[in-house]
């Protein structure tokens, strides 16, 4: 393995072809390393080191690699619900949001959608050694009502409204986000809290 690629892999488990080129690694060399089993091509232009013990849990490795490959991408909807443990669904694909009107890259097992107000509820979480962008719980619940089946959204809201050691519902923030995203969530909240 080239020194440039070894140095890159010391800092990250996954990387893009552009990051490889910036370190002096030619695309043909990446293809060679994929064929020899040193690297895995996760999706177009995204690679993962197969010989390193991953710090990212296996169930999230592809999601982390995918969101890394979409420069303005944010984990949203079903993927965010799974991370926050607000659904029992097992996602067949990763859900990544990009700003409305921006080019939506195609990725294997990924649904890239357009959303507005991309800064509303934007936060980061750490998975392994990676910090990835994701919408917070409140934004995720409101988006679920706007864009997912009602059963999924109600289940997420019910879990959101339950206090735990790591989470306390913030109804003021939830309602503020619902107003900004033009969705009246109050009938659902009232039905579940009375």
Q: Are residues 10 and 42 in the same domain?
A: yes
Which pLDDT belongs to residue 128? 78
Q: Are residues 115 and 159 in the same domain?
A: yes
pLDDT digits (tens, 9 = 90+) for 9-68: 777 777 778 888 888 888 888 888 888 888 888 777 778 777 665 565 556 777 888 888
Q: Are residues 142 and 120 in the same domain?
A: yes
Q: Are residues 158 and 64 in the same domain?
A: yes
- Distance between CA 107 and CA 34 in Å, rounded? 18
pLDDT digits (tens, 9 = 90+) for 148-180: 999 999 999 999 999 888 889 999 999 999 999
97 lies in which domain range? 58-193
Domains in the chain, number: 2
Q: Are residues 96 and 164 in the same domain?
A: yes
Q: Are residues 45 and 62 in the same domain?
A: no
Q: Are residues 150 and 75 in the same domain?
A: yes
Which pLDDT belongs to residue 146? 97
Q: pLDDT averaged over the chain? A: 87
Q: Are residues 13 and 81 in the same domain?
A: no
pLDDT digits (tens, 9 = 90+) for 68-127: 888 899 999 999 999 999 998 877 899 999 999 998 888 888 899 999 999 999 999 998
Which pLDDT belongs to residue 121? 97
pTM: 0.74
């Amino acid at each position: 393995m080239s020194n440039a690629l070894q140095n890159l892999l010391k800092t990250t488990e996954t990387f893009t072809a552009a990051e490889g080129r910036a370190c002096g690694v030619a695309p043909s060399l990446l293809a060679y390393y994929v064929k020899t089993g040193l690297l895995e091509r996760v999706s177009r232009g995204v690679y993962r080191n197969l010989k390193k013990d991953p710090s990212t849990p296996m169930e999230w490795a592809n999601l982390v690699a995918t969101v890394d490959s979409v420069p303005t991408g944010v984990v949203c909807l079903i993927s965010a619900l799974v991370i926050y443990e607000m659904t029992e669904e097992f996602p067949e694909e990763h859900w990544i949001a990009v700003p409305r009107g921006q080019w939506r890259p195609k990725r294997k097992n990924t649904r890239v959608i357009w959303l507005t107000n991309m800064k509303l509820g934007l936060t980061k979480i750490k998975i392994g050694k990676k910090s990835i962008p994701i919408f917070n719980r409140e934004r995720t619940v409101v988006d679920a009502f706007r864009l997912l089946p009602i059963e999924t959204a109600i289940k997420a809201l019910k879990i959101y409204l339950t206090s735990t050691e790591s989470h306390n519902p913030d109804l003021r923030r939830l309602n503020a986000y619902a107003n900004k995203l033009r969705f009246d969530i109050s009938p659902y909240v009232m039905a579940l809290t009375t």
